[in-house]
Amino acid sequence: MTAMPIYRPSRHSRLSRLSRLAAAALFGAALAGCATTGTVPLANPTAQVGVYRDTIDLEGKMSANYEKDGQPQSITVNFTWAQRPGNIDVALFSPLGQTVAIVTVTPAAATLTQSGRAPLVEKDIDTLTAKTLGWTLPVSGLRDWLQGYAVEAGGKRFAASPARDSVVTADGWRLRFVEWQNGADGQPMPRRIDASHSATGTSGDLAIRIVVAPAGQS
């Protein structure tokens, strides 16, 4: 009887597997780093979020777990968010402070600029970021989410609170407002938001974790 050959993975295979494990570990560490280290008591823990503001400046960290060309990918960035009536400017930075992308959204167009590349312009910011970054930065949704608001699947306006912290949006995002902090008006405001979206015809599954703080306090 002929003995079966013993399979020994090649050095390349072992290194490839180790690389995937290391990437997974780094992504897990990144998510852990985005979590808050403590919970500040809320001034009004039973209230819903405060009145929506058209003018707001925020900053924080964002991690995305997504698929590109059928392969799982991940990224962690710092961000700044400057919102004015009719205009939003978002800047994404690597953990080392390098600019990843700058996004500007107006009623007429959405523009994305990356270092060393010509600006790209589209009418739909979600499609633009999916094409250029490889994952969807849902700016149109974040306009509401960062302040604890959303549009429910039935079209009704949703206002979150520590007691009512999850919703499925009209465009299929599953949101959970995981952690809270005191807003400038004394009402609760989101501190950490988890958002996920199932695969569509143009993109794979996407999960985003956002930790947000008033500008200058993250």
DSSP string across 114-170:
-TTS--EEES-HHHHHHHHHSS---HHHHHHHTTTEEEBTTS-EEE-BTTB-EEEBT
Residue 2 has pLDDT above 50, yes or no: no
* Burial tier of 182 (Cβ tally within 10 Å: 0-12, 13-18, 19+): middle
Nearest to 191 by CA among 176, 173, 206: 176
Residue 20 has pLDDT above 50, yes or no: no
CA distance 152 to 37: 31
- Residue 200's pLDDT is 77
Please write the tens of the pLDDT for every residue from 68-78.
Answer: 888 899 999 99
Please write the tens of the pLDDT for every residue from 135-178.
Answer: 889 998 999 999 999 999 889 999 999 999 999 999 999 999 99
pLDDT confidence band for 123 (50 / 70 / 90): confident
Q: 10 Å Cβ neighbour count for 162?
A: 18
